Structure 1
Amino acid sequence: MQTYSKSTFRLCDDYTIGVICTTEFGLTAFRHMLDEEHPGLEIPDSDTNKYILGSLYGHNIVLTCFPGNVGKCTAAIVATHLIRTFTAIESKFLVGTGGGVPSSKHDIRLGDVVIGMPDDNNCGIIQYDLRKCDDESFQLKGFLHPPPTGLRNIVWGMISDHRGRENKIREYVSEMVQKLGGLSLYSRPTQKDLFFKADYSHVSGETTCCNCDATNTVHREDRWSPDRSRIHEGPIASADSVMKSARERDEIIKNIGKVLCFEMEAAGVATEYSFLTICGISNYADSHKNDIWRYYAAAAAAATTKEIISNLQPPEPSKTTLIALLSNLGLDISYTKLTGWSVVPVSAK
């Protein structure tokens, strides 16, 4: 018979926020932004996810990530295990990286963040590889769940706040990097942000754009503070394959309309569940895609999620909090798998 300490014992039902990170390095970034990390819990054998538990702004939060392979099917499986094991989760996030789509209306740069938010034509996630094409039309098929209304309202309020103050990305990422020297990979890259014209392909065999012709870049005005990432909201396009062709990217946008970002997992989650998807921009969904910005982009997405969580209402007292309150009243409480909860006066022991 196993007995848990009243000072450390928590149940799966004490966790009300769930975060799925699309990569291990994204999970690492988020892990080191927690206020506190908790001991692990026993989970069902059928649940193959690996979890990191902790707290953030008074909320108990559970983190997990994909097991190496990515895509809509993997995303759906991971989300299902998370929700079945942690049944009290109310706020759910999918946090990762993606390829940004700059336009005249959306000045998206590397290191920025896109939050998948609905508009009049979609739920915030567009599954562009599930469609019907004929000679006259390009029609998307299937139903996807929009983000939860409560989280959407928080995002709108946060975006409004950012019109008068800086977002928290730089603050949170700097704190994380300073916490551990080994996290310097997550610092903002010093390489120049280049957005190439759609008809100019990457130099074959090169891992960076050092030998690409800079005269083929799209001219963009310098930002007044180029080291500060911005947060954008709008539709995110999702499919099972990586978008690495500027021509295909632009053709998809021509057919489906406004898109701010391309990624690979959100549609798999949104088919079954209501998540808020947050993508750090690590490339421009073209042949010039490389890994230089992916660590910082993952950290920026984690920081944005952390700022959203900071705006959530304080949670109801958890079982752990009730244990502490009862203890302060002179009661001793214990829990065993065999008998459940037991509350007795300390003097009776």
Structure 2
Amino acid sequence: MENLISLPNSEYSIGWICALPLEMTAARAMLDGEHAKPADQNPNDCNSYCLGHLGPYNVVIACLPAGAYGVTSAAVVGTQMLQTFQCLKFGLMVGIGGGAPSEDADVRLGDVVVSKPGRSSGGVIQFDFGKEYGNGLFQRVGSLNRPPGALLTTLAFLETEHLMKGNRIPDLLDSAYSRFPNLVPVFSHQGQENDLLFTADYDHNETASSCQKCDQSRLSPRSPRTDTHPVVFQGLIASGNQVMKHGATRERLGRELGVICFEMEAAGLMNILPCLVIRGICDYADSHKNKRWQPYAAMTAAA
């Protein structure tokens, strides 16, 4: 049995939260090493943890309970994590999300979107929380915290590193695949031919199990990329308890809110544990969404 090091809970400074087991798998694949389970866990803390380190940083990874997704579940996991690991400085909400491509952000499957504050937002907007008025009017209320300055300055530094030295994500993926070869068949790139973006007004035939019978003439015209390396975008992320799977609604909210990604957990965490949200794009938040790209998108986000 592997002899894992054991550290006091006070030595952990970063909380990494995932919604799905495949996201936690990707997170563990990126660790430089795992640690022993916490010896002293708060009795009110129901989370199961994976502890480890990334370079000099000690990290706590937790996953939402099986079948329990959304804003509320993320809030519970984050709250309980802080009861056991009281010295956490900030969090990372890492996993998959739905892309909202636009003229300014040519987001594709496998790309990564990182939350970045806007003029009136901390980087995450809870799109389904507010007041409903007549005539279809909906007013969003409340605001979510910005990521801490240390994360934002690090994000800016990583951007300059990316521009000067190139995209490191492919190297990190290759390293993970070499250490965990059993991940390769499912957690690798799914091929540009399987990256299909249909026009927002064309809905999937709900009786079909795949998009093979969807009208290919309704695909949005896009130039093929020269490689399969994931592109990292920084921008606003929409979060809510509702699964976004309607192209026309995605387009409307994308324009209205300026968001380029939809997900279901971050809004529950932002005001509890100051965090950055990192999402690998696994679908286009429309009726054509399926699970094929989820494992690879989880890996790119973790990388």
Aligned-partner residue type, residue 179 of structure 1: R
Matched, 1:31 2:52: no
Shift of 1:136: 9.4
- The aligned residue for residue 126 of structure 1 is 125
Q: Distance in 2 between matches of 1:77 and 1:136?
A: 32
Aligned length: 295
SS at match of 2:37: coil
**Post-superposition CA distance 1:79-123 (Å, at most 9, x none):** 001112111111310011110011110010000000011110211
- The aligned residue for residue 48 of structure 1 is 46
Q: Structure 1 residues 282 and 136 mapped into 2: Cα distance closer, same or farther (>3 Å)?
A: closer
Matched, 1:235 2:236: yes
Matches of residues 1-349 of structure 1 in structure 2 within 5 Å?
Answer: 8-42=5-39, 43-68=41-66, 69-134=68-133, 138-184=138-184, 185-190=186-191, 191-225=193-227, 227-255=228-256, 257-303=257-303
- Contact 2:278/2:301 (<8 A) preserved: yes
Shift of 1:138: 4.3
Q: Distance in 2 between matches of 1:253 and 1:294?
A: 22
**Post-superposition CA distance 1:138-173 (Å, at most 9, x none):** 432012111111101111221233223322221111
Q: Distance in 2 between matches of 1:9 and 1:175?
A: 25
Moved more, 186-195 or 262-271: 186-195
Q: Distance in 2 between matches of 1:105 and 1:146?
A: 23
Aligned-partner residue type, residue 54 of structure 2: L
Shift of 1:15: 0.8
Q: Structure 1 residues 254 and 102 mapped into 2: Cα distance closer, same or farther (>3 Å)?
A: closer
Give percent identity, aligned residues only: 37
Q: What TM-score do the two structures reach when normalised by structure 1?
A: 0.81
- Contact 1:52/1:62 (<8 A) preserved: yes
- The aligned residue for residue 315 of structure 1 is none
Shift of 1:295: 0.1
Gaps in structure 2 of 5+ consecutive residues: none
**Post-superposition CA distance 1:17-63 (Å, at most 9, x none):** 11001211110111121111111122122100000011110211111
Q: What TM-score do the two structures reach when normalised by structure 2?
A: 0.93
Q: Structure 1 residues 220 and 78 mapped into 2: Cα distance closer, same or farther (>3 Å)?
A: same
Aligned-partner residue type, residue 243 of structure 1: M
Greater CA radius of gyration, 1 or 2? 1
Q: Distance in 2 between matches of 1:208 and 1:174?
A: 29
Moved more, 170-179 or 126-135: 126-135
Gaps in structure 1 of 5+ consecutive residues: 1-6, 304-349
**Post-superposition CA distance 1:219-245 (Å, at most 9, x none):** 1122232x1100001110011011001
Aligned-partner residue type, residue 177 of structure 1: Y
Q: Distance in 2 between matches of 1:101 and 1:254?
A: 10
Shift of 1:193: 1.2
Shift of 1:137: 5.9
- Contact 1:207/1:290 (<8 A) preserved: no
Moved more, 184-193 or 117-126: 184-193
- Contact 1:174/1:187 (<8 A) preserved: no
- Contact 2:13/2:58 (<8 A) preserved: yes
**Post-superposition CA distance 1:281-337 (Å, at most 9, x none):** 00000001001100000000000xxxxxxxxxxxxxxxxxxxxxxxxxxxxxxxxxx
Shift of 1:204: 2.3
Q: Distance in 1 between matches of 2:254 and 2:260?
A: 9
Shift of 1:178: 1.8
**Post-superposition CA distance 1:228-267 (Å, at most 9, x none):** 1000011100110110011121232343x20010000010
- Contact 1:37/1:54 (<8 A) preserved: yes
Shift of 1:269: 0.7
Q: Distance in 2 between matches of 1:295 and 1:79?
A: 23
